[in-house]
């Protein structure tokens, strides 16, 4: 059975967990105690991911890291979520790369700064910078979704999984769905997909209180 080494607070893990859940593949989450240093241990780096990150996809002798690579592999395994034409496949990749550079990279660090880093170590300047970067990315996403139901093509793809992941978390990170009507409608469509689950219902959280 496929194993996904992950934890519920990880938006990058959620991208893959959601794709696995909706793909119909048999898989199981394996909790990574990230906040207590497991991913930085020598054993984890030597056997799972030298980059000391989650998620890690393990299927028999195959071990994959980086959410975009794993999403692409799931599509190749199942024929799902990769786009219906070569042109769509390229556009899916374009949005996955955009998300990793412009959206998730800024939102993930902003959320970490505002919620998981001790107040003594937070930087108001860094937080303000990240809020600005996130607002620009959200504006791009909002404009793109104003005229369409899905990021690419006629149905959900890896572009949707990648771009939506951090936006389902409840902590404060300067994002309110009501401020972004097209994004809000898109997230509602994703929530309505058969089999959709919140990250805390797919993976074990490091901080159970964060589920509320």
152-170 pLDDT, tens per residue?
999 999 999 999 999 999 9
Inter-CA distances, 212 with 85, 88, 96, 140, 185, Å? 40, 37, 29, 29, 22
The pLDDT value recorded for residue 212 is 38
Local structure of residue 208 (DSSP, 8 states): G
Inter-CA distances, 56 with 43, 96, 137, 161, 170, Å? 14, 18, 26, 16, 24
The pLDDT value recorded for residue 209 is 52
Residues 153, 133: Cα–Cα separation, whole Å: 27
The pLDDT value recorded for residue 148 is 97
Local structure of residue 56 (DSSP, 8 states): E
Which positions of the chain have pLDDT values less than 50? 211-212
The pLDDT value recorded for residue 184 is 98
The pLDDT value recorded for residue 48 is 97
Local structure of residue 38 (DSSP, 8 states): G
Encode 127-169 in three state secondary structure.
HHHHHHHHHHHHHHHHHHHCCCCCCCCCCCCHHHHHHHHHHHC
Return the exposure string of 116-140: e unless at least 16 CB atoms fall within 10 Å of the residue's CB, then b: eeeeeeeeeeebeebbebbeebbee
What are the structural domains, with CATH classification, of the chain? Answer: 2-81+196-203 (3.40.30.10), 86-191 (1.20.1050.10)
The pLDDT value recorded for residue 41 is 97
Residues 42, 56: Cα–Cα separation, whole Å: 15
Model pLDDT for residues 47-60, shown as the tens digit of each residue: 999 999 999 999 99
């Amino acid at each position: 059975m496929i194993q996904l080494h992950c934890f519920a607070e990880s938006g990058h893990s959620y991208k893959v967990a959601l794709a696995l859940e909706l793909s119909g593949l048999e898989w199981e989450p394996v909790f990574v105690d990230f906040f207590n240093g497991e991913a930085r241990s020598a054993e984890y780096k030597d056997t799972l991911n030298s980059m000391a990150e989650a998620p890690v996809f393990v299927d028999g002798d195959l071990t994959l890291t980086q959410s975009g690579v794993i999403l692409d592999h799931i599509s190749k395994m199942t024929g799902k979520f990769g786009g219906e034409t070569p042109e769509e496949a390229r556009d899916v990749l374009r949005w996955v790369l955009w998300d990793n550079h412009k959206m998730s990279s800024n939102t993930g660090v902003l959320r970490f700064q505002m919620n998981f880093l001790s107040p003594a170590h937070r930087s108001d300047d860094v937080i303000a910078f990240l809020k600005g970067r996130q607002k620009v990315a959200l504006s791009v996403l909002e404009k793109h979704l104003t005229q369409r139901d899905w990021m690419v093509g006629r149905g959900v793809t890896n572009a949707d999984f990648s771009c939506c992941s951090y936006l389902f978390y409840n902590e404060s990170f300067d994002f309110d769905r009501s401020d972004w009507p097209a994004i809000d409608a898109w997230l509602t469509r994703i929530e309505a997909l058969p089999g959709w689950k919140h990250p805390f219902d797919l993976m074990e959280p490091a901080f159970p209180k964060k589920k509320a």
